[in-house]
Amino acid sequence: MEMQEDRGFIPYEEMTWPQKLRRCIRRNPTMVAGGLLLAVMAALAMCAPYLHTVNPVEMNPVERLRAPGAGHWFGTDMYGRDSYSRVIYGSRISLLVGLVVAVLTSAIGLTIGLISGFVRKLDNPIMRVMDGIMALPDLLLAMSFVALTKASVGNVIVALVIPQTPRVARLVRSIVLVLREQPFMESAMAMGARLPRLLVRHLLPNTIAPLVVQGTYVMASAVLIEAGLSFLGAGTPPEIPSWGNIMAEARSYVRVAFWLLLFPGLFLAATVLSINMLGDGLRDLLDPRIARRMR
């Protein structure tokens, strides 16, 4: 092999993929850690039946309130259900709700923000409605919606989307307000591009980065609020194990069976933490200036 001059570093184009990976980990430790933890949680949720779990709703009153031990890794609850299985299956609901809420909020907020930012006549009325929704505290709004409709996962998702959408819409709108004065927009319009093309082809790509960052925060918030709703009894119906549900049932057993509260909460905190870490890392990576100001 020829002698290469030692430049003291390897240019990005010449890196092998293990070197690129190491570089990524070194530069963004929190993002990588958060992403890995989230991936682990997702894997747990998806592979739930294969992880040594039993039926999470199967009651076994003989085995009530056993402490964590050999047969039941996280103990059993007041009906004899295996806590470990319930926690693992509970992650499915939380992650599903979080993801769907994040995607829906981003999609709807993006549409509203794009239209509101670009079409001047519609801007004021749309923003007044958004302000009105934002004036209501999140939890109260979500709680009212779920309790007034049937308790189901779908309704919980709608209840969580409504309070979060205005924030995303505001974010997108603020970006559009800045961008619509730019020369490239003017030239596109001069070339005859009509509204849909202007919005989708020119404005939308510039909103993706902050949107993704905001989306992670929305997801974290959604997972937390869903758990809070379930805990208060205004969320996921009690037949479906969700971390909030499990903790609601366990609250009378603080003295005798604290493990029932410990493990779901631990998993919940870990999941939300991983999402937040991922979001922070993405934000630092993608666009620190815009995203920080708008959060």
Binding site for other proteins (CB under 8 A): 30, 128-129, 131-133, 135-141, 143-145, 147-150, 220, 224-225, 227-228, 231-234, 247, 251, 254-255, 258, 261-262, 264-266, 268-269, 272-273, 275-277, 280, 292
Element (H, E) at 84: helix 83-118
CA distance 17 to 252: 53
**8 conformational bin, left if phi > 0, alpha if psi -120 to 50, beta if neither:** left
Which residue number, 204 or 261, has a Cβ lying nearer to other proteins? 261
Least distance between other proteins and beta carbon 250 (Å): 9
Contact assessment for residue 264 and residue 35, using Cβ atoms and an 8 Å cutoff: no
User: Minimal CA–CA distance to 216: which of 271, 176, 293?
Assistant: 271
Shortest distance, position 102 Cβ to other proteins, whole Å: 16
d(CA 198, CA 181): 13
Q: Tell me the C-alpha distance between 168 and 181, whole Å.
A: 21
Name which of 80 and 233 has its Cβ closer to other proteins: 233
CB closer to other proteins, 195 vs 266: 266
Which residue's CB is nearer to other proteins, number 92 or number 167? 167
**76 beta partners:** 82
For residue 10, the minimal CB distance to other proteins (Å) is 27
* Closer Cβ to other proteins, 40 or 47, answer by number: 40
Q: How far is the CB of 144 from other proteins (least distance, A)?
A: 6
- Comparing CB distances to other proteins, the nearer of 59 and 261 is 261
Please provide the DSSP assignment of 99-160 as one string.
Answer: HHHHHHHHHHHHHHHHHHHH-HHHHHHHHHHHHHHHHS-HHHHHHHHHHHS---HHHHHHHH
* C-beta closer to other proteins: residue 67 or 269: 269
CB of 126 to other proteins, least distance (A): 12
Question: C-beta of 30: minimal distance to other proteins in Å?
Answer: 8
Residue 76, phi then psi, degrees to nearest 5:
-125, 160
Residue 95: closest CA among 55, 46, 138: 46
- What's the closest the beta carbon of residue 256 comes to other proteins, in angstroms? 10
